[in-house]
Structure 1
Amino acid sequence: MPTKVDLNADMGESFGPWVMGDDAALLDIITSANVACGFHAGDPDVMDQTMRQAVANGVGLGAHPGFADLKGFGRRNLPIPAAELANAVAYQVGAAQAMARRAGGHIRHLKLHGALANMAAIDQALAKACYTAALEVDPDLLIMVLAATAQEQAARELGCAWAGEIFADRAYNDDATLVDRRQPGAVLHDPAAVGPRILAMLQADAIITKSGKHIPCRIDTICLHGDTPGAVAIARGLRDHLTQAGVTLASL
């Protein structure tokens, strides 16, 4: 069981006057922020505000690139060639770096978003193309991967620094992929249930799937989705439960 883990959240996903999630409240709880880069969500003003708040709170910054699909919030599978996706990832990493520098911080990690992440979790070549593009922009980036999936295999093959991630608010299939959001029980909302569930995974050094199967993996970071209803309560409950169990929360 790890005695120290990172608690990350996807954020910066508002767009103009359309607000998505309570980033300010989450930034008082989490240790790393995955900031949308303007493709699936976010805009330069939102990126700036989110990053400045993260820097002020001592929260680590990460780029969160996704499909250029605002209407679908990056959660629709798009048949885009790997070379085109690599360019899109590099573009978004560059934008995140520029905004982070202006905010007084720097981008330390990369995490793929939504459908792009789910596709890369079962397609090692796609994951490798995306990660290679990001590392060509910054070889020191830490790659955040969905633990025990093709994403992890790609990172291991590249020999780059990586962190294994599990999800606090999502259910798992028996192949370590996430249950489709359209399925009942795919997204978890009960703050009282999330903490014990994640602590059990940490104690087992494994993902515990919806069916109860244990998939051994390295757990470095735990994710919460900022747009999940009740995200702040879930995050606060999870943090309290883990710290009471002796787990230290610290950025990657």
Structure 2
Amino acid sequence: MKDMIDLNCDMGEGFGQWTLGDAPDAEIMKIISSANIAAGFHAGDPNSMDRVVKLAQSHGVGLGAHPGYADLRGFGRRYIKMDAAELVNDILYQIGAIREFGRRYGAPLQHVKLHGALYMEAAVNEGLSEMLVDTLRVTAPEAMLFCMGISKTYAAAQRAGHPAVREFYADRDYDNSGSIVFARQVARPDPAKIAAKCVKACKTGMVTTVEGDELEIEFESICFHSDTPGALDMGKAIRAGLTDSGIKIASPVYSASA
């Protein structure tokens, strides 16, 4: 039974006059403890980064960079074949953008979380994960790396002694391998069912897979997505379900023994 959990959400996912999802960033920011802010490659632009970083600072929400593939048209959910060194340079570039806006408002970079297809690629790509972790050890040694517990990313961070936070996905399904079932389009979920799923995971450490089995899962943060239809109602339901169960929502504190 967990008595405290981080609640994170992907934020600032629009570009120019275009926005994605039906949940205002300002309202979601009241619910969460960590924000993953789009850094310009899959979504986001300098003005949206400035706005959302300022919102995070004003609400005391942990600031996270959310780098993705250079794929505005596909929202970073399409795989792009690239050399690991090129990808890490793209990631570093995006981290720098969020970190500088954070510096503007006195908000330190709390974490880095890859987006979409890049997150999934790093999860199975040991070379990419190791290069990413090695780069963070030099450029952002205190920034926690958000990832799946079964991923190559988490294993690389553990080997290097880099702070890492394992995620539980509220609005994504799991299969028996322990991986999330990747989807480009997500239907509107039932907020009560999503909240119950999160409370169950926090209380029992178990999640029901798409195969119908019970899977043990370890995590320190719960993620939901602002572009999921009905995200605001879902986020409110998750927060209410957790707090009603006596589980405090707060930014993660890294422990080497986690």
TM-score (norm 2): 0.92
Amino acid at match of 2:201: M
User: Partner letter of residue 179 of structure 1?
Assistant: V
The 10-residue stretch of structure 1 (172-181 or 68-77) with the greater mean CA deviation from structure 2: 172-181
Q: After TM superposition, give the deviation of residue 15 of structure 1 in Å.
A: 0.7
The aligned residue for residue 54 of structure 1 is 56
Please tell me the residue identity of whatever aligns with 1:205.
G
| Structure 1 residues without counterparts, runs of 5 or longer | none
Q: Which of the numbers 174, 177, 197 marks the counterpart of 1:175? A: 177
| 1:68 maps to which of 60, 70, 92 | 70
Q: Distance in 1 between matches of 2:71 and 2:136?
A: 20
Match of 2:192 in 1: 192
Q: Distance in 1 between matches of 2:95 and 2:136?
A: 7
Q: In structure 2, what is the Cα distance between the partners aligned to 1:188 and 1:176?
A: 23
Task: Name which of 110, 120, 140 aligns with 2:122.
Answer: 120
Distance 1:67 1:50 in 2: 20
Which residue pairs with 2:255 in the alignment?
none
Partner SS for 2:168? strand
1:166 aligns with 2:197: no
Separation in 2, partners of 1:158, 1:131:
7
Number of the residue aligned with 1:144? 146
Superposed CA deviations along residues 146-176 of structure 1, whole A, max 9, x for unmatched, are: 1222222122122111111011000012212
> CA 1:159 to 1:215, structure 2 compared with 1: closer, same or farther past 3 Å?
farther
* 1:66-145 map, 5 Å: 66-145=68-147
Contact 1:171/1:188 (8 A) holds in 2: no
Moved more, 44-53 or 194-203: 194-203
1:127 positional shift:
1.9
Helix, strand or coil at the partner of 1:76: coil
Cα distance in 2 for partners of 1:214, 1:102 equals 46
Native 8 Å contact 1:2 1:219 kept in 2: no
Q: What's the counterpart of residue 231 of structure 1?
A: 231
Give the SS at the match of 1:121. Answer: helix
SS in 1 for 2:44: coil
CA contact (8 A) 1:169 1:194 kept: yes
Shift of 1:104: 2.4
Q: How far off its partner does 1:124 sit? A: 2.3
Note the C-alpha offset of 1:200: 1.3
* 1:12-70 deviation digits (Å, cap 9, x = unpaired): 11111001242111001111100111111100100000010111111110111111111
Instruction: Give, in whole Å, the separation in 2 of the partners of 1:187 and 1:231.
Output: 11
TM-aligned CA deviation for residue 86 of structure 1: 1.0
Q: Is the Cα contact below 8 Å between 1:195 and 1:238 reproduced in 2?
A: yes
Q: Give the paired residue count.
A: 250
Matched, 1:221 2:225: no
Partner Cα distance (1:187, 1:127) in 2:
30
Q: Secondary structure at the match of 2:26?
A: helix
Which runs of 5 or more residues in structure 2 are unaligned?
Answer: 253-258
Structure 1 length as normaliser, TM-score?
A: 0.94
| Residue 38 of structure 2 corresponds to residue 36 of structure 1 | yes
The secondary structure found in structure 1 opposite 2:64 is: strand
After the TM superposition, which parts of structure 1 deviate over 4 Å for at least 4 consecutive aligned residues?
A: none
Retained in 2: the 8 A contact 1:169–1:188?
no
RMSD in angstroms over aligned alpha carbons? Answer: 1.6
Calculate percent identity across the aligned residue pairs: 40
In 2, Cα distance between equivalents of 1:137 and 1:117: 19
When residues 78 and 176 of structure 1 are mapped into structure 2, their CA distance, relative to the original with a 3 A threshold, is: same
1:6 corresponding residue in structure 2: 6
